[in-house]
Amino acid sequence: MSQDWIRIRGAKQNNLKDIDLDIPLNALTVVTGVSGSGKSTLAFDILYAEGQRRYVESFSAYARQFLDRMDKPDVESIEGIPPTIAIDQHRPVKTSRSTVGTMTELHDHLKLLFSKISVLYCNGCDRVVERDSAQSVFKKLGGLAEGAPLVLTFPLSFPSAVLWSDVREGLLRAGFHRLLDGESMRDLEEMAELDQEKEKLEVVVDRFSYRAEAKKRITDSLEQAFHFGKGRVNLYFPQEGWRREPFSKQLHCPHCDLSYHDPVANFFSFNSPLGACETCRGFGRVIDIDWDLVIPDPLKSLSDGAIKPWTTKPRRFQRLMEFCERRRIPTKKPFRELSEKQKKLILEGDGDFKGVRGWFRRLERKSYRMHVRVFLSRYRAYLLCPQCQGTRLKREALYFRVKGKNIAEINSMSVGEAHRFFEHLKLAGQSDQVARLVLDEIRRRLSYLLGVGLEYLTLDRQSRTLSGGELERVDLTTAIGSSLVNTLYVLDEPSIGLHPRDSHRLVEILHRLRANNNTVVVVEHDPEIIKESDFIIDLGPRAGTEGGQVVFAGSYEELLKSPDSLTAAYLTQRKTIPFPLRQRRPIPQRCLKILGAAANNLKNINAEIPLGLFVCITGVSGSGKSSLVDEVIFRNLKKLKESPAATVTQCAGIDGVDKISDVILVDQSPVGTTPRSNPATYMKVFDAVRRLFAATDLSRLRGYTPSTFSFNVEGGRCETCRGEGFEKIEMQFLSDVYTSCSECQGSRFRQEILEVSYRGRNIRQVLDLTVSEAWDFFKDSPEIRYGLQPLRSVGLEYIRLGQPLTTLSGGESQRLKLASHIAKAKKSGTLFIFDEPTTGLHFYDIARLLRAFHELLDQGHSLVVIEHNMEVVKCADHIIDLGPEGGDAGGFVVAAGTPEEIAECEKSHTGRYLRPYLQMETASPFTPVLEKGLRVQGLKGSREKENAITIVGAKEHNLKNINLTIPRDRFVVITGLSGSGKSSLAFDIIYAEGQRRYIDSLSAYARQFLKVMARPNVDLLSGIPPTVAIEQRLSQGGKNSTVATVTEIYHYLRLLYSKVGKQHCVKCG
């Protein structure tokens, strides 16, 4: 029997305080707590790391060395943990080949569906092109009247090097005696000569009258005509004016004489050379000259340097002036006021003057030189591919359609549009079973994407443009699509970026995942997800060294009664996030006016951003918030602050730019990817600290400089570990081992550097101080205190100055980034833009974040915040709500005004969820406001009814389309005669599919080194967990094969001797 609990004993990973914890299997567990309390440590560094490590141990030693080798967690024991899959928001996607369609495997299913059921339309005449056969041609003749005369021919063609006399003899021997010339017959024996270029004749195969009972004769003649005509035949209807009807056995349009490629699956893939556009190689974009970079200020005249790259090229500039004088092109006139013909002459050139483009082409021929490549990069950008127009595919692939749509048109659909398209797609009765299964899988995966609120994403949206929350929810649908059971899924805040209206849909997906006999552990702060969970773990009581303890573990009802839980205090409203003491009011004429914003799905909207206020941009997912804030406001303001005459993009204009001094975007990008970076270096505090140490008497005596006290450069750092503080021992197929440096004992510095002290502490001891301790220690250094104050403002006073940024939690990273930007804003009037700043934050952390926001406002700055958290939205001075829906149904300004005015707007989804937080209704703010019919009843207690592996239509090898149900958690024996199909069932179906589905959850890099099992030949296989095979070795091992190599003991022995073995002299021992 499987265990009912995952039992963790003595967990001391990171800041966890030797905790013991039991987590229920086959349940939805939420791990919550303040930022930095140890949630990610428990979920990812312990549960995920150990669950994956144990399952991956079943792979070969060769394969394991290419996988992400997770460190063994610092715990005494873990029992009952199943194979684990992590779905987090920190896995970056860098390749532009990855799209929503490829990530969810919808692209793979689409190309397979097109290879099975697509219809080819001729590019010349737009007729349907299909393969003909003798049977299909006879079937098409069914509408003729009985006795209608027909003439069957095939085209006569032969190489020019072949003599006509030889061709004629061959035709006569084959039994053909007549040629068709227009509407008349010519006797083959009488034709001594033939001019093939002038005379287009056809060989007559048969003349007959159509009769249904003469099917055999007619089809035999058609087969003979197809054979000699190389797949092409013609039928003539003498009674209809010798009308010709051509037919072809290939994908060939007989009307236009055009041939087409067979619709194999890879022909519809931009990741395959067979289908990818040959110009852009499947990327959809090419690098070319960006004229906005070449002419950044079109208000400048040619003589004032409108063409930027020529402002530093006197000879080129002089040639331009001479050319303009010859062609009478005004050089004192602003460039944008020149006529289109004049602009074209300057850019494209004419005669001896090659123009700007010709000059760039000449430079590109010298791009083997580094300085030329650097110069070109300043004026080039990725532009739409002129060949495929961004579809990424060869033009030939777009001639195939399903229900009138080619694959590029389907890929450009949003998830919602694609779902409706395939729901209404009906397959013809003769469609094969594979097409039906593929269509069912496409519908299923699209419904999962709808379920997590991503109906606005297009299938061709690049994965690297997705936010962290969107990326995680896409991964979640992929996990559900794999249909694995008995698996532990660990998720990191899947509700990020999700409007409260859609939270219940995410809960239903999580319940569905759990209902398949899986265990789901979610790091989450969303009240609804906490309420709908089966088990809650609250870590705390505070962050960092003050956290790492289990404050509460149990059900939601028990949590609300817990006196020690900070989460419970906020859920029961014993603690609340207070409203601001005063609401700031807009000042007339002090605002940014956005005119005609039209980026992505924005519908040419106008919006006013009051300055000096806390402005929230709200709306359901995909309503256009990021398009407005990032692509329109931030990018254009950044451009206009650098060059006031610059041309704005994706909007008609922006008024009021002069009313702000700077614009700063604080997004969700990571703060650091190297352990060398720490809060002191990130906040620029370490520079001042090093100067203090360099100014001490001992430092001056020894000639130390500030750089001597850096662990990143030679001079002061320990050269054994190169300032890392540890030594990395590579362990090949095991996780690497990190040991404290034997020279510096982890201090990172040389011993003599540590002899220098400032106020009784050396540089290592200073880096070990918390922000709060450092505030007191450096009370006489205003410069250092200036850098530490923002950290205190955002509630990070507990982190240590030298703590590697890679060890910070997501919420801590967000606040550190905020603190850094606060420190940079030296002058008032800065516009701060925040993209979901509450990511990773607990209610307690949000309260502190809001205090930091109001400090910025008090200093004269302005805030624009994209946010879904109603605790933050209720505290805003002004709200702009976009919608009303996502995707094409969004992009409008639904409402704008104070929180109270938004709450009164009946059309606003945000207003409906905001009302309880403003105490405008009697309901608790944490009571979900649900739309009728959206919630599936009874999910919280639902479980898969049948605890079994179900196999339908197994046809692998000699299995005869069998259906089978195998109970899980039982000892099952498969027996039968030798060759009866036992191994086919056990290994080629059950083992292969269980391991394949798990491997599909790994990175593409890891999968290329693993032997991925082929999909077994079954119609349906459900209820299967990750599998491990222990099989007989039927083939005899080679001479080098031993018990040690088979059991992998030999690999461990080699590793052991290479790391700790001591070499002895062969003579003296």
pLDDT digits (tens, 9 = 90+) for 943-972: 444 688 999 889 999 999 899 999 998 999
pLDDT digits (tens, 9 = 90+) for 447-458: 989 888 888 899
Structure token pair of residue 288: 């070319």
* CA R_g for the chain: 36
Q: Is 909 helix (H, G, I), strand (E, B) or coil?
A: helix
Mean per-residue pLDDT, 810-835: 83
HSE of 1037, CA atoms in CB hemisphere, 13 A: 11
pLDDT digits (tens, 9 = 90+) for 490-509: 999 888 888 898 888 889 88
Mean per-residue pLDDT, 51-62: 80
308 close to 289: Cβ distance less than 8 angstroms = no
608-667+827-923 matches 285-384 in CATH topology: no
Read off the pLDDT band of 1033 (50, 70, 90). Answer: low
Q: Above 60 in pLDDT, residue 380?
A: yes
568 close to 538: Cβ distance less than 8 angstroms = yes
Architecture of domain 5-93+466-571: 3-Layer(aba) Sandwich (3.40)
Q: Helices 340-348 and 355-364: crossing angle, nearest 10°?
A: 20
Cα gap 502→449, rounded to integer Å? 12
Mean per-residue pLDDT, 968-984: 92
pLDDT-above-70 percentage for the chain = 92
Work out the number of other CB atoms within 10 angstroms of the CB of residue 187.
9
DSSP 545: G
Q: Above 70 in pLDDT, residue 1008?
A: no
Mean per-residue pLDDT, 680-684: 92
Please give the sequence-ordered ranges of beta strands (E in DSSP) within 453-590, or none if there are none: 488-492, 519-523, 535-540, 549-554
Structure token pair of residue 261: 């490629």
Residue 619's region, left for phi above 0, alpha for psi from -120 to 50, else beta, is left
Dihedral pair phi/psi, residue 147, rounded to 5°: 90, 5
Q: Who contacts 202 (Cβ-Cβ below 8 Å, separation ≥6)?
A: 153, 154, 155, 156, 179, 180, 234
DSSP 477: H
Task: Check residue 920 and give its pLDDT.
Answer: 43
Read off the pLDDT band of 729 (50, 70, 90). Answer: low
Please, what's the largest Cα pairwise distance for the chain? 119
498 close to 506: Cβ distance less than 8 angstroms = yes
Q: Above 80 in pLDDT, residue 684?
A: yes
Query: Which has the minimum average pLDDT: 9-23, 298-312, 763-777, 904-918?
Result: 298-312
Cα separations (Å) of 22 from 78, 570, 668? 10, 25, 33
Structure token pair of residue 737: 């081992």
Q: Who contacts 697 (Cβ-Cβ below 8 Å, separation ≥6)?
A: none
Could you tell me the residue ranges of all domains in the chain? 5-93+466-571, 131-250, 285-384, 608-667+827-923, 948-1022
Closest C-alpha to 997, from 1019, 1023, 974: 1023
Closest C-alpha to 499, from 456, 448, 459: 456
Architecture of domain 608-667+827-923: 3-Layer(aba) Sandwich (3.40)
Q: Is 548 helix (H, G, I), strand (E, B) or coil?
A: coil
| C-alpha of 627 from chain center | 18
204 close to 185: Cβ distance less than 8 angstroms = yes
Task: Check residue 418 and give its pLDDT.
Answer: 96
Cα separations (Å) of 1008 from 66, 268, 988, 992, 1011? 9, 22, 20, 17, 8
Q: Above 60 in pLDDT, residue 926?
A: no
Greater pLDDT, 675 or 788: 788
Burial of 328 (0-12, 13-18, 19+ CB in 10 A): exposed
Read off the pLDDT band of 280 (50, 70, 90). Answer: very high
Read off the pLDDT band of 938 (50, 70, 90). Answer: very low
3-state percent helix, strand, coil for the chain, nearest multiple of 5: 35, 20, 45
Dihedral pair phi/psi, residue 544, rounded to 5°: 60, -130
Q: Is 121 helix (H, G, I), strand (E, B) or coil?
A: strand
Q: Helices 468-482 and 433-451: crossing angle, nearest 10°?
A: 140
Greater pLDDT, 567 or 261: 567
Q: Token match 């259906």: residue?
A: 963
Task: Check residue 1037 and give its pLDDT.
Answer: 59
Cα gap 751→655, rounded to integer Å? 59
Task: Check residue 930 and give its pLDDT.
Answer: 39
Cα gap 492→509, rounded to integer Å? 15
Cα gap 310→950, rounded to integer Å? 71
Could you please report the per-residue DSSP string of 648-686?
Answer: P-SSSEEE-GGG-SEEEEE-S--S-SSTT--HHHHTTHH
DSSP 749: B
Mean per-residue pLDDT, 1058-1063: 82
Closest C-alpha to 942, from 509, 521, 529: 509
Q: Above 90 in pLDDT, residue 1019?
A: no
Task: Check residue 690 and give its pLDDT.
Answer: 94
181 close to 201: Cβ distance less than 8 angstroms = yes
Read off the pLDDT band of 83 (50, 70, 90). Answer: very high
pLDDT-above-90 percentage for the chain = 42
Query: Which has the minimum average pLDDT: 371-385, 751-765, 868-882, 1011-1025?
Result: 1011-1025
pTM for this structure?
0.79
Read off the pLDDT band of 588 (50, 70, 90). Answer: confident
Query: Which has the minimum average pLDDT: 192-201, 336-345, 949-958, 969-978?
Result: 192-201
392 close to 270: Cβ distance less than 8 angstroms = yes
834 close to 630: Cβ distance less than 8 angstroms = no
Mean per-residue pLDDT, 316-336: 89
Task: Check residue 501 and give its pLDDT.
Answer: 87
Task: Check residue 34 and give its pLDDT.
Answer: 93
CATH classification (class only), 131-250? alpha beta
Greater pLDDT, 533 or 300: 533
Read off the pLDDT band of 937 (50, 70, 90). Answer: very low
493 close to 39: Cβ distance less than 8 angstroms = no
Greater pLDDT, 342 or 809: 342
Closest C-alpha to 233, from 215, 217, 221: 221
Burial of 1022 (0-12, 13-18, 19+ CB in 10 A): middle
Cα gap 949→966, rounded to integer Å? 5
Read off the pLDDT band of 815 (50, 70, 90). Answer: confident
CATH code of 285-384, in short, is 1.10.8.280
909 close to 501: Cβ distance less than 8 angstroms = yes
Query: Which has the minimum average pLDDT: 82-91, 348-357, 729-738?
Result: 729-738
Q: Is 47 helix (H, G, I), strand (E, B) or coil?
A: helix
Please give the sequence-ordered ranges of beta strands (E in DSSP) within 667-780, or none if there are none: 726-729, 737-740
Structure token pair of residue 961: 């389309």
Q: Above 50 in pLDDT, residue 1054?
A: yes
Average pLDDT over the chain, rounded to an integer: 86
| C-alpha of 37 from chain center | 29
799 close to 808: Cβ distance less than 8 angstroms = yes
Cα separations (Å) of 379 from 283, 292, 308, 335, 637? 20, 8, 9, 18, 21
Q: Which helix (H) or strand (E) segment is 285 a member of?
A: strand 285-289
Q: Above 70 in pLDDT, residue 138?
A: yes
Strands 1020-1022 and 948-954 come out as antiparallel
Dihedral pair phi/psi, residue 877, rounded to 5°: -85, -30
pLDDT digits (tens, 9 = 90+) for 464-478: 888 767 887 888 887
Structure token pair of residue 244: 């010709």
Q: Is 488 helix (H, G, I), strand (E, B) or coil?
A: strand
Residue 979's region, left for phi above 0, alpha for psi from -120 to 50, else beta, is left
Closest C-alpha to 755, from 746, 765, 767, 745: 765
Cα gap 1057→1055, rounded to integer Å? 6
Q: Above 60 in pLDDT, residue 198?
A: no
Task: Check residue 705 and give its pLDDT.
Answer: 93
Q: Who contacts 168 (Cβ-Cβ below 8 Å, separation ≥6)?
A: 188, 191, 194
Q: Is 286 helix (H, G, I), strand (E, B) or coil?
A: strand
Cα gap 744→484, rounded to integer Å? 48
Task: Check residue 730 and give its pLDDT.
Answer: 64
pLDDT digits (tens, 9 = 90+) for 209-264: 888 888 888 889 999 998 888 888 999 998 888 888 888 888 888 788 788 888 88
pLDDT digits (tens, 9 = 90+) for 98-131: 899 988 889 988 998 998 899 999 998 988 888 8
Closest C-alpha to 395, from 383, 403, 387, 405: 387
Work out the number of other CB atoms within 10 angstroms of the CB of residue 579.
14
Read off the pLDDT band of 826 (50, 70, 90). Answer: low
Cα gap 809→528, rounded to integer Å? 23
pLDDT digits (tens, 9 = 90+) for 145-164: 888 889 999 988 787 778 88
Structure token pair of residue 515: 């209902």
